[in-house]
Amino acid sequence: MTVNWDRALRSSRWALLLLSGAVILGMLTLWLLPALLTRHPSHGMTAAEQLKAVNDVRAPLVGFVILLGSAATLWFTARTYRLGREGQVTDRYTKAVGQLGDTKAPVRVGGIYALERIGNDSPRDRDTIIWVLGAFVRERSREMRERQDVAPEDVRAALRVASRLLAQSTVKLDLRDADLRNTDLSKFSTARILLDGADLTDAVLPAA
C-alpha cells in the first residue's frame, strides 16, 4: 500500500496533542483541581478530614476524565480506520486505472470491473469513475477493431459498468465522438449520455 505521508504526519500530530492533553488533564484531576476546590472549605478540618475531602472531589473528576479518554480513544480509532480505508480505496483506484492501459484485453476488462467495485464501495468516487469510463470508451473505441461488426469486449464491459453506476449517480456519461458501431446502448437513458459526433451505425439506441 502507498503511504500517505501527509496524513501520517497529521495523525502523529493529533496523537501527540491528545497525549499531551491527557497528561495535563491527569495532573489537573489528580492534584491541582481537588486541592483548589477544597482549599477554602478545609479550614478547621483535621488532616484526615482534609484528605477525605480531596479524595471525595477527586473521585468524580477521575471518572469524568476516564469518560473523556474513552470518547477520545473511540474518535481516534474511528479516524484512523477512516484514513486507512481511504488509503486502500486510493490504491485500488490507482491500480484499476493502470490496468485500463494494459496491452492485454483481459487485464483491461479486469480493471473495468475493479472500478465498478470501487464505485459501489465508495460513493464519493463514483462520479469520477464514470468520467474515467467515458474517456476510456471514447479513446479505446476509436482504435483499430479486430472485427468491424462488434465493439471490443473492453468497450462493451465499460459501457455495461457505466450503465449500472449511472443508476446511482447524477452525472452524464460522455461518449461524444466515440465509435459506437454495433453497440448496445439500450441500458442507458438518452438524458444520461452525451452522443454528439458519435458513430452510431447499427447501434441499439436507448429508448426515447
- Domain ranges within the chain, ordered by starting residue: 1-89, 101-208
Which pLDDT score is estimated for 24?
64
Among 201, 172, 204, smallest CA distance to 185 is for 204
The model's confidence at residue 145, banded by pLDDT at 50, 70 and 90, is confident
Reported pTM: 0.64
Q: What is the pLDDT of residues 155-182, one digit of tens each?
A: 999 999 999 999 999 999 999 999 999 9
Q: Can you give 16-67 as a three-state secondary structure string?
A: HHHHHHHHHHHHHHHHHHHHHHCCCCCCCCCHHHHHHHHHHHHHHHHHHHHH
Q: Cα–Cα distance between 133 and 159 in angstroms, integer?
A: 8
For residues 70-82, give the mean pLDDT: 68
